[in-house]
Amino acid sequence: MSDNDTTIPARRRFLVQSAAAAVGAVAGTAHAEEAAPPGIPDWMRAPGADVGSQTYGTPSRFEAGLTRNVPKGLKQYTSASSRSPLQDLDGILTPNGLFYERHHGGIPDIDPAKHRLLIHGLVERPLILTMEDIRRFPSESHIYFLECSGNPGFEAIKGKTASDLVGLVSCAEWTGVRLATVLREAGLRPEAQWVVAEGADAAALTRSIPLAKCLDDALLVYSQNGERLRPQQGYPLRVLLPGFEGNMNVKWLRRLNVSAEPAYSREETSKYTDLMPDGTARQFTFVMEAKSIITRPSGTQRITAGFHEITGIAWTGRGRIRGVQVTTDGGKTWQEAMLQEPVLNRALTRFRLSWTWDGTPTTIASRAIDETGYVQPSFEDLTAVRGLKSFYHNNAVVPWRIAADGEVANGYA
């Protein structure tokens, strides 16, 4: 069988052709100084940098363009955000320096030795805990995603890149103490139904958390991806509510008030409610629904005809992703993508699909299905129910349009 035999799978043909091209390049090497083997590159001719020259590790200088997506002209002491560069990341974990941010009153500079957590209200034993006290409790580490509920708004779907569209989502390993453990230390009274969390930022962001969630998988977190929380992520202490909308995961946590009713704070009345077509508003829409996006190929990237691996991320606040379907023909047909193992509870899931593009203009997209059977909706199906007046909880399918020259662009535009 020849290498040109059409019965050879597309992926194998791609690898065979790539190997042949590489051999040809080596055969044409005229000077040993060239970097490609068997040449000796410059960086092999002298010792490299001293390990002691960097007290905190940094990426290669050739990766200097890999940064958070910060909107131009946004003043960080106001209500501001930055986005993860989803289209440039691999796997499911987001590096701490690229984790998305959302702030309502800037980033406070908190001395952990002076920080205190007050637990009061409907408890038998009000507590004031230092960070040292909190770290004495039994700790746990779990991988969870975190997503802003306005990711994106219903009228904010014209961004160019995956980061522009849904970059307000990231995933990390979080370490801390079960909130249930600390609440039981304080002793809950029978009438307790809610826990009102307050942050120590200038906005004193306040959110009401159902007691059932607090006693389930909620964490008081002090570390992220193995190191202490960064100030942007709530140093020295934050709430982590797996699967719940991002703003409820209160950062710079200073107070937990156990109560019989929610606080009806600014962030759960005038904000973070979902305006419906009939003028009513949904309130306390805690859980982030199933969602996915193709990150490669995606907006502003360019591809050539031939073999490609379509890849992206999927997630759901209701548990695990059961499957991801991908269309390469504008929704006429859908194929099952491969899920990267392990598929974790309330974490990002990486999916992949082998694809050979024939050079014909088309539209690609993905849709997630979670373990409850919920299927990520199209934008048309979602807005038929929710309308366009809402801002939060837009989990619609994201299409990417591929032109004849291989340029990839937002399919909504």
- Contacts of residue 93, Cβ cutoff 8 Å, sequence gap at least 6: 143, 171, 172, 173, 225, 348
Distance of CA 189 to the CA centre of its chain: 36
* Burial zone of 125 (CB within 10 Å; 0-12 exposed, 13-18 middle, 19+ buried): exposed
For residue 297, cis peptide bond before it (omega within 30 degrees of 0): yes
At 223 the three-state DSSP class reads strand
Tokens 């002209």 correspond to 73
What would the two tokens of residue 284 be?
A: 């306390």
What's residue 9's pLDDT? 53
What's residue 160's pLDDT? 96
Give bridge partners of residue 121 from the DSSP assignment.
258
* Burial zone of 100 (CB within 10 Å; 0-12 exposed, 13-18 middle, 19+ buried): buried
237, 228 in Cβ contact below 8 A? Answer: no
How wide is the angle at C-alpha 153 spanned by C-alphas 282 and 330, nearest 5°?
115
What's residue 289's pLDDT? 97
Give, as one character, the DSSP assignment of residue 14: H
Element (H, E) at 29: none
Give, as one character, the DSSP assignment of residue 244: B
Distances (CA, A) of 183 to 108, 136, 187, 295: 26, 15, 6, 40
What's residue 303's pLDDT? 98
Give, as one character, the DSSP assignment of residue 392: S
Query: What gap in Å lies between CA 216 and CA 255, rounded to an integer?
Result: 19
What's residue 77's pLDDT? 62
**pLDDT tens per residue, range 403-413:** 999 999 999 97
How wide is the angle at C-alpha 256 spanned by C-alphas 252 and 259, nearest 5°?
150
How wide is the angle at C-alpha 139 spanned by C-alphas 133 and 141, nearest 5°?
140
What's residue 28's pLDDT? 40
CATH fold group of domain 291-410: Immunoglobulin-like (2.60.40)
What's residue 165's pLDDT? 96
Query: What gap in Å lies between CA 11 and CA 306, rounded to an integer?
Result: 9
- Contacts of residue 341, Cβ cutoff 8 Å, sequence gap at least 6: none
Tell me which residue of 342, 317, 316, 313 sits closest to 326, measured CA to CA.
313
Number of continuous H segments (helices) and E segments (strands) in the chain:
6, 23
- Contacts of residue 68, Cβ cutoff 8 Å, sequence gap at least 6: 82, 83, 84, 85, 97, 98, 100, 101
39, 26 in Cβ contact below 8 A? Answer: no
Averaged pLDDT, groups of 10, the chain, 413 residues long: 44 47 40 71 85 84 92 72 96 97 94 98 98 98 97 90 97 98 98 98 96 98 98 97 98 98 95 92 96 98 98 98 98 98 98 98 98 97 92 96 98 88
366, 325 in Cβ contact below 8 A? Answer: yes
- Structural domain boundaries in the chain: 80-277, 291-410
- Contacts of residue 1, Cβ cutoff 8 Å, sequence gap at least 6: 7, 8
Residue type, 40: I
Asked if the domains at 80-277 and 291-410 fall in one CATH topology, the answer is: no
What is the number of other CB atoms lying within 10 angstroms of the CB of residue 306? 14
In CATH, what number does 80-277 get? 3.90.420.10
Tell me which residue of 178, 199, 82, 179 sits closest to 123, measured CA to CA.
179
What's residue 76's pLDDT? 58
